[in-house]
Amino acid sequence: MEVKVVKDILGANERIAERNRQLLDSNNVFAVNLMSSPGAGKTSLILQTLKRLKGKIRIGVIEGDVSSSLDAELVAKEGVPAVQINTGGGCHLDANMTSSALGNMPLKDIKLLLIENVGNLICPAEFALGEHRKVLISSIPEGDDKPFKYPLMFHQADAVLINKIDLLPYLKFDAQAFSRTIKKMNEKVKIIQISCTTGQGIEEWVSWLLKQIEKG
Amino acid sequence: MEVKVVKDILGANERIAERNRQLLDSNNVFAVNLMSSPGAGKTSLILQTLKRLKGKIRIGVIEGDVSSSLDAELVAKEGVPAVQINTGGGCHLDANMTSSALGNMPLKDIKLLLIENVGNLICPAEFALGEHRKVLISSIPEGDDKPFKYPLMFHQADAVLINKIDLLPYLKFDAQAFSRTIKKMNEKVKIIQISCTTGQGIEEWVSWLLKQIEKG
């Protein structure tokens, strides 16, 4: 009985995600679902991306959080349309919440939509939002064993950004072994080492992102 | 309808948690539920705690993970009874999983049970396991805005350990403001700055823990 309920929820979610995708496509908007642990650097990456792409491409941002509107406020200061979703305790965004947020987003005025999911390495991986790409930010201080413990999200990601690479001298983290492990689980994944503090790797990320938008 | 299902699940969980608590009490075992984001340092804290309390108090460990048995293997190497729970995709431990693990734990041979929850700042807060205390490990690299974004877990914790304090020189993190915010949400909470790498604060943690076991 429990399994049935869960399956129905996921089936309904897939259908709404497909409708979101059609809405995005009909408005020529490319959407990226950004996922990570709490504090791995999703908002910092969005701010870096806005900085690099200002004047080049019009961007909108959906911010997902259990509580607070801190992130949407930070993003709105950069002068881009930002919509906050508060899940009210929920541990992930779903297609239905995303659908509501899309209704408040000026889709005709943007080309790229960055969706910051709730900070959680588990459930966000199970709920499609209608996005074109899934990007996972994994930060050095979390440790290099995370792909073994949270395999689904690493398996699904189109790109894994290894953030806080500037902290590497102070931590035990085998970046080569980490990348090898991820490639074994997901051979097509793009892996980029970045630091949202120093800016390292952000050019490479932005260039990968622009190529994905071209591909659609 | 959905809300009803969720309420039934939480109600059933509470009843099983109460049975777990009775089983623990009848065996004179004190249980601590350790919660945090992925990679904040739960396993490292357990290893530090085992080191300090070896020969002083008999400890058992339950390790909760979505996948893998890496943590239970690490802990078992220290010569203490360790049971791994794999949630198979689930984002938190619940009382029922804990009940199964208790069946595999030699309760008569231990005094302290450390339960490492799944790395997640959201759902573990909603599911009682039968524990006597809830301890939240929040690490410096996650940022000082976490209490605003994940309020329930900060609100419930009996102690918040601020881990990776050795990284403070390299990161923007206002430890005083962070502590003030938590105290406003939860005035009775014990806050301890620790580093599982350098050992800073571990004596204070262990001494707090031993006092809690005395109190029961």
Q: Where are the domains of chain A?
A: 2-215
pLDDT above 60 (res B2): no
pLDDT above 50 (res B1): no
Q: Which amino acid is residue B148, in one-letter code?
A: F
DSSP string, A77-144: TTTS-EEEEE-TT-SS--HHHHHHHHHTS-GGG-SEEEEE--S-SSGGGG---S-SEEEEEEEGGG-T
- In the structure, what pLDDT confidence band is assigned to residue B3 with cuts at 50, 70 and 90? low
**What is the model's pLDDT at position A177?**
96
pLDDT in tens, B137-159: 999 999 999 999 999 999 999 99
Of B120, B126, B145, the CB nearest to A70: B145
Say whether B67 and A149 touch across the interface (CB within 8 A). yes
**What is the model's pLDDT at position A1?**
40
Say whether A37 and B119 touch across the interface (CB within 8 A). yes
**What is the model's pLDDT at position B45?**
98
Nearest C-alpha of chain A: how many angstroms from B166? 9
**What would the two tokens of residue A179 be?**
């990348």
Of B67, B123, B164, the CB nearest to A91: B123
**What is the model's pLDDT at position B73?**
94
Nearest CA in chain B to A44: B143
User: Burial level of A198, CB count in 10 A (0-12/13-18/19+)?
Assistant: exposed
pLDDT above 90 (res B5): no
Alpha carbon A114 to chain centroid, angstroms: 7
Say whether A91 and B170 touch across the interface (CB within 8 A). no
Of B65, B68, B91, the CB nearest to A123: B91
Nearest CA in chain B to A125: B89
DSSP A54: T
Q: Which chain A residues touch B151 with a CB distance below 8 Å?
A: 66-67
**Alpha-carbon span A98 to A128, nearest angstrom:** 10
Coil vs helix vs strand at B92: coil
In a structure prediction context, what are the per-residue pLDDT tens digits for chain A, which is 216 residues long? 445 566 677 889 999 999 999 999 999 999 999 999 999 999 999 999 999 998 999 999 999 999 999 999 999 999 999 999 999 999 999 999 999 999 999 999 999 999 999 999 999 999 999 999 999 999 999 999 999 999 999 999 999 999 999 999 999 999 999 999 999 999 999 999 999 999 999 999 999 999 999 999
> Among residues of chain B, what percentage have pLDDT more than 70?
97
Architecture of the domain delimited by A2-215: 3-Layer(aba) Sandwich (3.40)
**Alpha-carbon span A68 to B62, nearest angstrom:** 33
ipTM: 0.91
- In the structure, what pLDDT confidence band is assigned to residue B6 with cuts at 50, 70 and 90? low
**What is the model's pLDDT at position B9?**
79
Report CA torsion sign: B195, B199, B201, B202: positive
User: Burial level of B188, CB count in 10 A (0-12/13-18/19+)?
Assistant: exposed
Q: For residue B40, which of B156, B165, B128 has the smallest C-alpha distance? A: B165
